[in-house]
A and B are shown apart, each in its own frame.
Chain A
Amino acid sequence: DGGITQSPKYLFRKEGQNVTLSCEQNLNHDAMYWYRQDPGQGLRLIYYSQIVNDFQKGDIAEGYSVSREKKESFPLTVTSAQKNPTAFYLCASSTSGGPTYEQYFGPGTRLTVT
């Protein structure tokens, strides 16, 4: 089955620790995205990548980092510099090349930092 996987589903960390969220896709999509979701705020773009070894900051990149060494994988690291990291994180992918292509979303990772 083609799709996007995110792991783990729930993640708990202590304040001051970095944590990496996994995102893998087998859809052969060029573009991948990370979003943060907080209640009542919709989805906010953290980082996106349209090709391997290249990525761009989104609207709320501060305190986050990413890498895109393989087409299938786009891990997100939440660093200790992120002031309010507790949230629901969604990874998505799409065929790049135009605005008509829909995004495919993973099931999400809920991160709780205490």
Chain B
Amino acid sequence: AQSVTQLDSHVSVSEGTPVLLRCNYSSSYSPSLFWYVQHPNKGLQLLLKYTSAATLVKGINGFEAEFKKSETSFHLTKPSAHMSDAAEYFCVVSDSPGGSYIPTFGRGTSLIVHP
């Protein structure tokens, strides 16, 4: 069975400082991992995904994430926060070799950016 835990429900940073959103996963197989972003009252947009290629994955808007199998983690980082980064972020795992491939969502981390 697959599961995902987002370790912080809220993260608060100042504009221009680094961002770290933490995600741990559990999977019995080789998982695919995703980060999505959701701005208020909008749908989700894919930031980046890991699918067993390079362990350091670069995404849109300067975000990147590193897949660490030994730590079962897939943390999302950005060197310098921008006000427009304030949003909800979801970590997602998908393995399900039985054929359904239904992804499992974390509960989300709300990123707050202070001027």
Q: Do A and B come from one complex?
A: yes
A residues contacting B by CB (< 8 A) are 4, 6, 40-43, 45, 48, 50, 56, 58, 88, 90, 92, 96-108, 110
Contact B41 A105 (CB under 8 A): no
A29 to B52, CA, bound (A): 23
A82 to B32, CA, bound (A): 33
Contact B107 A40 (CB under 8 A): yes
A17 to B36, CA, bound (A): 34
A101 to B33, CA, bound (A): 10
Number of chain B residues whose Cβ lies closer than 8 Å to a Cβ of chain A = 25
Task: Report whether over half of chain B's contact residues are helix, strand or loop; otherwise say mixed.
Answer: loop
A4 to B45, CA, bound (A): 12
Known: A90-B44, A100-B32, A108-B43. A43 touches B105 (CB 8 A): yes
Please, which residues of chain A bring their CB within 8 A of the CB of B44? 43, 90, 92, 103, 105
Contact A99 B31 (CB under 8 A): yes
